[in-house]
Amino acid sequence: ITLSTLHQSGLGALYMMAPDKVHPLWYSEFIPIMFFVSSIFAGLSMVIFEGSITHRVFHQRVGPDLERSHDSILRGLARICAGTLFVYLFMELIVFVHGQKWDYLATGWGAWYLLEVVGFVAVPSVLFLRGVARKSPRVIGTAAILTLVGIMLNRLNISVIAFKWYLPVRYVPTWQEIVVTLAVLSAEIWVFRWVVNRMPVLDDAHVRSGRLERVERASASAA
């Protein structure tokens, strides 16, 4: 599995040029490292989420080997997610304490920050471990969804919500931007579905050949 990680630290480094524009709760000199670490569990959570949906939607096309190993693959990814989430949470705590940011917790921004860190970092890390211990794909999937929501919230907080937080007017995406984003996502889903239905992506070669033989026999008998 190839995950996009190297550009994440560069993306985080961009915000080091705007220390006065990002809210102190989200800004630190370790933003590039935080972006890199968070990209690890974000990417693996997306793999868990997409893999679970694909396994359910294209269940008839999944080969027997992948069918047997699906749950164990999820548990392996969940272990890595839990570990990197705990590392990220520990780094957040160090940055928070070192930056002497206690006074901000009494504000509305502090409550919003705690929601992100506790609700979408600490809770998913515990759920991942619980899902691995109980061998529950459903719990692992729930943890992956919470993690994805948390990473999106973190990126939005840094780039939009908590960026120039002191101004009375905030940037809000237009409906055209939202439509373009949804169109791109829909196109990606359509292309993936087209590829899976026509190429041996999920099933083994012998499974596909057996399916073709059954189709040919059915066509011959019908003729």
pLDDT tens digits along 140-164: 999 999 999 999 999 999 999 999 9
Q: Are 72 and 210 in contact (CB under 8 A)?
A: no
Distance between CA atoms of residues 191 and 176, nearest Å: 22
Is 204 in the same domain as 132?
no
| Cα 27 to the center of its chain, rounded Å | 22
State the average pLDDT for the chain: 89
Q: Give yes or no: residues 111 and 179 share one domain.
A: no
Q: Are 160 and 171 in contact (CB under 8 A)?
A: yes
Number of domains within the chain = 2
143 with 188, same domain? no
Residue 1 lies in a domain: no
In this structure, is residue 206 part of a structural domain? yes
A 10 A CB-CB count for 129 gives 20
Q: Does 196 lie in the same domain as 155?
A: no
Q: Taking the model in full, what pTM does it have?
A: 0.86
